[in-house]
Structure 1
Amino acid sequence: MSTYANARVVDTADVADSAEIGSGSSVWHLAQVRERAVLGANCVIGRGAYIGTGVSMGNSCKVQNYALVYEPASLEDGVFIGPAAVLTNDTYPRAINSDGSQKSAEDWEAVGVTLRRGASVGARAVCVAPVVVGRWATVAAGAVVTKDVPDHALVAGVPARQIGWVGASGHPLSESDGYWVCSATGEKYVEIDGELKEVTEQ
């Protein structure tokens, strides 16, 4: 295991010299972190995961085994990406041009997925760029996200559709007396024009 600027990088991981790995972060077996990727502090990159060129990742993110995070994805603090989930980057994917010539890096424009603070993407889910997954939102396992996900929304299915709300703890919220309430924390939220706002006691 190598030391990488106060991070743990195992010998079987492939980390580019130009990548930045924050203090306290871990990069595990067979993971690849490409050129100019930036990982914040206390991130965990699981076995076989892929972090693309120039991907930006905040603090305390967790990318589980064999997840694929293609550039130019942007992850804010506290993002969770489940096993084998994929963040895509090509709106019109082709291996060749219409004239039969092989595509090169100059033949397409990469577009990214943005995951806001505390968002979670479940196992084997796919986020089709360009989409934004809002703060504390949850994408269910196996879902295919093709449009933006609001803050605190719980989405599932193919294509993904909203089926509920979740709190910062990740637990589904239940409706009670005009509020959305987290059974785990007691936090209360109110829905206004399709958006969820936390209620702060005065």
Structure 2
Amino acid sequence: MSPEPATMINETADVAATATIGAGTKVWHLAQVRENAVLGENCTIGRGAYIGPGVSLGDNCKVQNHALVYEPATLADGVFIGPAVVLTNDEFPRAVNPDGSPKSADDWTPVGVAIREGASIGAKSVCIAPVTIGAWSLIGSGSTVVKDVPDFALMVGSPARRIGWVGRAGRPLTALGDGLWECPVTGAQYREASSDELVEVLPD
């Protein structure tokens, strides 16, 4: 039996005692992992990144430098969060109540961003909660996501809009006609079930 991969937490990182860190996960310089956060196996948390209380990451996730993952975000296996990405959690942000008193944790309800398996969020993008990012989708750098994203969608802009489809390899798919698409890297094929739904064509 192969040995369990080593977990590494840099001495400058701030990891709460109640956080769960999976085997082989690396938490780099000045990163902060808050209370009751759960990080799966073989994750990478980059320099200065923030993981909020109770946030959940699956296995093999990458959260790059200075990304902000606010609670109650959930990331499935294999999710990529680019540098300086922000996952928000407040639909109606205010520092104070209508009477001018400072808002406390009891004065608002956090809402989260859910990111499905294999999806990638490009550098400096912002995902406005509540929103779900579909499996294997790709959000282009600098985009602002304000609505749910389909599986395999290629999204760019502010607000983000779909400009194509991507496969599991992350490359734009090539249209073959009649709603059929192909990955130029793997040769895998996909079929458009509708204008907002792409499904993998499984081999016989």
Q: Which TM-score band (shorter chain)?
A: over 0.9
Pair 1:198 & 2:188 matched: no
Partner SS state of residue 17, structure 1 = coil
Distance 1:122 1:6 in 2: 28
The code of the aligned residue for 1:186 comes to G
User: Corresponding residue for 2:111?
Assistant: 111
The code of the aligned residue for 1:191 comes to E
The code of the aligned residue for 2:40 comes to G
Q: Normalized against structure 1, the TM-score is what?
A: 0.96
Offset at residue 6 of structure 1 (A): 4.2
Question: Could you list the per-position Cα deviations for residues 89-109 of structure 1 after superposition, in whole angstroms to 9, with x for gaps in the alignment?
Answer: 000000001110000011100
Offset at residue 48 of structure 1 (A): 0.2
- The residue correspondences of 1:117-128 to structure 2 (distance < 5 A) are 117-128=117-128
Distance 2:115 2:139 in 1: 11
Offset at residue 23 of structure 1 (A): 0.1
Partner SS state of residue 106, structure 2 = helix
Tell me if the contact between 1:6 and 1:22 (Cα under 8 Å) persists in the aligned partners: no
Structure 1 unmatched ranges of 5 or more: none
Aligned length: 198
User: Corresponding residue for 2:16?
Assistant: 16
The code of the aligned residue for 2:58 comes to G
Pair 1:187 & 2:188 matched: yes
User: Corresponding residue for 1:147?
Assistant: 147
Structure 2 unmatched ranges of 5 or more: none
Distance 2:90 2:45 in 1: 23
The code of the aligned residue for 1:201 comes to P
Distance 1:137 1:38 in 2: 23
User: Corresponding residue for 2:137?
Assistant: 137
User: Corresponding residue for 1:93?
Assistant: 93
Question: Could you list the per-position Cα deviations for residues 11-48 of structure 1 after superposition, in whole angstroms to 9, with x for gaps in the alignment?
Answer: 00000000000000000000000000000000000000
Q: Normalized against structure 2, the TM-score is what?
A: 0.95
Offset at residue 200 of structure 1 (A): 1.7
Partner SS state of residue 180, structure 1 = strand
Percent identity (aligned): 61
